[in-house]
Amino acid sequence: MASINNFTEGKIAGPLVRFTIPLLLAFCLQSLYGAVDLMVVGQFGVPADVSAVSTGSQMMQMVLVVVAGLSMGATILLGQAVGAGRSKESGSLIGTSITFFIGLALILTALMLLVTVPFTRLMQAPKEAFDKTVTYVRICSVGTLFITAYNVIGSIFRGIGDSRTPLFTVAVATVVNIIGDLVLVAVFHMAAAGAAIATVAAQGVSVVLSLLLVRRQGLPFSFDKTDVRLDKRHALDIVKLGMPIALQDGLVSISFLVIAAIVNSLGVMVSAGVGVAERVCGFIMLVPSAFSQALSTFVAQNTGANKPQRAMRGTIIAMASPSPSML
């Protein structure tokens, strides 16, 4: 059975940093998805393919930030329940998260498929890359359920203080994505469409692998199929806690979309070049993102355990640069 990483007792800095490192590595591997797509497409495709992958991935980022932001609500609630020792509530929270996010995934999938063409037109995708961008987005949109499932499962693992299992599943998915890119893009010359298929397949593998691990290891509290139902109170709490995060990240994503639309109007070569540069710059934000995710779990558990002073100390430590003495 999986064990809970309890942050409500003992040292703060060492466990917090050690919990953050796997999260950071997982984020790096996730970012590697897009980087590998652009690298392989750039090597075996044409600039229009690179532009399509760059623009299409930024369009799909809007879906990702909504799901990831809302799933943070589930992480916080689960962390509070774990910290307070409310095992029955933990199972109910997971069941509500599954039900809520499946419904959200279906809505987002339908919405993205419906607005792909006008959205691509709004992004001013270069003429040479327009159809390729539409194809890329539509294929990725079909995989929205996998994107959502991965984030929900990740929120569950983070809520109980497990950052290593998501790292393992992302590592496997990254290998699958690289192999898929090489086969579909380099061998079968499917360009942007091949990159999209490889990405969706990799996400699907990560979800299946995560479910197999959960089934094998179990959870540190009772959970069965009767818990898989929508509890309105839990669902509202997930939205209330997750929406500000989704809105914040969504606004940042919109700013990048605006930049991408302006760049796309300058032509396919400029669009491709800026898309590659933005992928590189994206790695810079991974460290604060990893610490914020880890800190959310830490603060949630200590809030649930009614230890606000310890939660504040963890926040201060996370804001400071970690030193060897902290470890």
Segment among 6-10, 166-170, 220-224 with least mean pLDDT: 220-224
Residue 25 has pLDDT above 80, yes or no: yes
Report pLDDT digits (tens) over 145-161. 998 998 888 888 888 88
Give the residue-averaged pLDDT of 210-229: 83
Question: pTM (2 decimals)?
Answer: 0.87
pLDDT value at position 244?
Answer: 93
- Taking only the tens place, the pLDDT of each residue in 101-129 is 999 999 999 999 999 999 999 999 989 99
Tokens 């200590």 found at: 302
Domain map of the chain by residue range? 14-314
Q: Tell which residue, 45, 58, 228, has the closest CA to residue 152.
A: 228
- b/e sequence 43-71, b meaning 16+ C-beta within 10 Å: ebbbbbbbbbbbbbbbbbbbbbbbbbbbb
Q: What is the pLDDT of residue 277?
A: 67
DSSP notation for 96-152? HHHHHHHHHHHHHHHHHHHHHHHHHHHTT--HHHHHHHHHHHHHHHHTHHHHHHHHH
* Statement: residue 326 has pLDDT above 60: no
Q: Which of 308, 291, 288 is nearest to 299 (CA)?
A: 308
Residue 324, pLDDT score = 36
Residue 4: what pLDDT? Answer: 60
pLDDT at 280: 65
Q: Lowest-confidence range among 187-201, 228-242, 275-289? A: 275-289
- Residues 59/139, Cβ–Cβ less than 8 Å: no
Q: Which helix (H) or strand (E) holds 209?
A: helix 191-217
The confidence score (pLDDT) of residue 282 equals 67
Asked if the model's pLDDT at residue 322 lies above 60, the reply is no
Q: Distance between CA atoms of 111 and 81, rounded to whole angstroms?
A: 33
* 260 — pLDDT class (breaks 50, 70, 90): confident
Average pLDDT over residues 272-300: 77
Q: Residues 45-54: what's their mean pLDDT?
A: 88
- Provide the b/e sequence for 192-227 (b: ≥16 CB within 10 Å): bbbbbbbbbbbbbbbbebbeebbeeeebbbebeeeb
